Structures are given as C-alpha cells and as structure tokens.
Amino acid sequence: MAATDEEHQVAGQDTATTTGRIRPIVTLGDEVLARPCRPVTEFDDDLRRLVDDMFATMYDAPGVGLAANQVGVDLRVFVIDCPDDELGSLVGHVVNPVLETPAEGRELEIDVEGCLSVPGPHTDVPRATHVVVTGYDVSGAPVRLEGHGRAARCLLHETDHLDGFLYLDRLPRKQRKRVLAAYEAGLDDFVE
Ligand code: NI
C-alpha cells in the first residue's frame, strides 16, 4: 500500500536497517497482479533474500506494505511497516498469510488508500477496522500479526494482492472508472 506523507516519515526511520536490494515494482496491467499467488513451500535463502528486498523496495517507494507479486514474484509473501491506530506501528512479514476478521472488527471504516502498483491516485475504500493475519516467518516459524485501523487496512490490502485483487477491485464501478482515468492521465495528486 502506498504511504501518505505522514506515514512516509514513520516508515523512513527504518530505511537504514534493511540489507535488501530495491527491485522494480510492477504496475497495473501485469498479469502477475491479477491471479492468486502460489503458497511458499521452500523456506530457504531465496525466500530470505526476497523478504529483505521487499522491505528495501517498500521503504524506497515509499510504501507501508508490499506484496511479492508487486515485485513480480508469484509467491504468498508480504511485508508491512504501517502505523497502527492502537499499537503505534505494525512491522513484519508474513509467508502464506491467512486472514481473519474478529467479530468486533467487522464494522467498516472508510479511509483513503493508494497502491504502489497503481502509482498516483488515492481514493476512499471501506475496510474492516480490526484484522488478524496468521502465517509463517522466513524460517518457517508461526507468526501472528494484528492490525487496527490503518494497519488493518494495510493487512487487507496486501492479502488482497496475494489473492490477485487490487484495491480498485473493491470500488464501485463509477469510482473505479474515475480513479483509473486519473491514473491513466498521470494525475499524481488525485484524491477522492
Ligand atoms: Ni497495493
């Protein structure tokens, strides 16, 4: 998920800690974004390198979350470094994520959202307010990430990527058309 200016300042603090290399981000129209990614089966050095590179790429963009298919890799992995509305911030990575929405998180909240693979526009998207993602880290150990507000939104956005969906797919048809038109026109400051 693309960062707002405020989020950029938060995420940018950790830039120096990553050892990864920046990879090119694929954009709207690339078929790797439009189909479900494959589950990870090998917890090896390639996976570790992928996660390091994804952190470097996310911080460079800057973004608050990034899914593996956004760097052209067809695997179920995402990274996140996003402000959390209750816990300060949520930083981590998840391999083979499974998403749950606790009953108290099912209320929808509308907030602005953008995507590094649809660079430029931001628009309002309704999302659940509290979600839990379980999965594994790069060494195969179980992990559990819990997000509230902005971080919940980001966990939903990145999990959607791995299922082959963009935030555009969550929009009513007319809103989607307006956002796409702004994207195609290169309107970097479009917010609706
Ligand atoms: Ni995105």
CB under 5 Å of ion ligand 1: residues: 115
- pLDDT per position as a tens digit, 53-69: 999 999 999 999 999 99
Amino acid present at 44: D
Average pLDDT over residues 90-94: 97
Exactly one of 42, 104, 158, 184 is catalytic; which is it? 158
- Could you tell me the domains of the chain? 9-184 (3.90.45.10)
User: Residue 154 C-alpha to ligand 1 middle, in angstroms?
Assistant: 9
User: Residue 44 C-alpha to ligand 1 middle, in angstroms?
Assistant: 26
Give the Cα separation of 160 and 25 in Å (integer). 17
Q: What is the pLDDT of residue 17?
A: 54
Q: What is the pLDDT of residue 189?
A: 81
Mean pLDDT, the chain, whole residue set: 92
DSSP 187: -
Buried/exposed 142-174: b ≥16 CB within 10 Å, e otherwise: eeebbbbbbbbbbbbbbbbbbeebbbbebbeee
User: Residue 167 C-alpha to ligand 1 middle, in angstroms?
Assistant: 7
Q: What is the pLDDT of residue 14?
A: 45
User: Residue 114 C-alpha to ligand 1 middle, in angstroms?
Assistant: 7
158 is catalytic: yes
pTM: 0.92
